[in-house]
Structure 1
């Protein structure tokens, strides 16, 4: 399936409102005027996704000091996200995009293949959104090792510019 639109740095970030772990809701209206990190991951409580989530959680204070919040997004139901957050002590919101509107709007719902089988799934990607709601940086096809540190370094430059 071809993506009919690809987001670019400088584009307005697509609006969203999603239920999240801990009984929270995350939405672009509440985030207006605040920079944030929006990262997409395939599935809660799998090895790569756990490593990435724990990495963001361990550096959350540094992100907050830079003036940014962190939001993780998958298509898992909130109940599964709550269990994932509890199991690993994740304190930032994990948002549920069960209907897939947000993953499609951000262009991360893609055709994948494993062992010769093709299927649709979330491509691990991270978006840095500035205070004006525009995309400041995109990390497509994320490899988990070293990723959180790269995002934090970029986030700090954004925070300094604010």
Structure 2
């Protein structure tokens, strides 16, 4: 669960990325929407969900920020990035999970799409194909981009997996 439900303002935050840069929500929103995907490397549902964010990064990364927010240390997060071939920035919410706590998270993965005005437009936890498709459609709308296909017909992907 998250206290940042759709329609609510998302709290601002800044976190260090694996690349050493600081990523600030308030700054990123000046350039377009932000998808914040909170995860733990040991979570099987996160291992299923996070690689699909690559497709969103490929389709919308020019006009939106796709961020994975790890509740693990840099070493474990880097190993996860390499194992699953993640192409979007991974931020570190370690040492007490300050941003996860700010957002009231109780489950991972939790995905929150934040519009440029700072309002959460989509918020859910776990993995749902419908949720990912809604995010893709909303990113297309908010960025005036062509819709991206998140799931291909030949892929065996469950409709839902709890986090």
Seen in structure 2, the aligned counterparts of structure 1 residues 128 and 26 have a Cα distance that, compared at 3 Å, is same
Per the alignment, residue 25 of structure 1 pairs with 22
Q: What is the root-mean-square deviation of aligned Cα atoms in Å?
A: 2.5
Separation (CA, whole Å) in 1 of partners of 2:55 and 2:3 = 31
Seen in structure 2, the aligned counterparts of structure 1 residues 154 and 142 have a Cα distance that, compared at 3 Å, is farther
Q: TM-score, with normalisation over the residues of structure 2?
A: 0.74
Residue from 5, 9, 12 that aligns with 1:12? 9
Q: How many residues align?
A: 143
1:147 deviation in Å? 4.0
Q: Which protein has the bigger strand share?
A: 1
Structure 1 stretches (4+) deviating beyond 6 angstroms?
none
Separation (CA, whole Å) in 1 of partners of 2:16 and 2:100 = 14
Residue from 109, 119, 126 that aligns with 2:111? 126
Moved more, 99-108 or 29-38: 29-38
Gaps of 5+ in 2: 146-163
Per the alignment, residue 68 of structure 1 pairs with 64
Gaps of 5+ in 1: 111-121
Residues 3-152 of structure 1: matches in 2 within 5 Å?
6-33=3-30, 34-41=32-39, 43-44=40-41, 46-64=43-61, 67-98=63-94, 99-108=96-105, 110=106, 122-139=107-124, 141-145=125-129, 147-152=131-136
Seen in structure 2, the aligned counterparts of structure 1 residues 144 and 21 have a Cα distance that, compared at 3 Å, is farther
Q: Is the 8 A contact 1:13 1:133 kept in 2?
A: yes
Per the alignment, residue 153 of structure 2 pairs with none
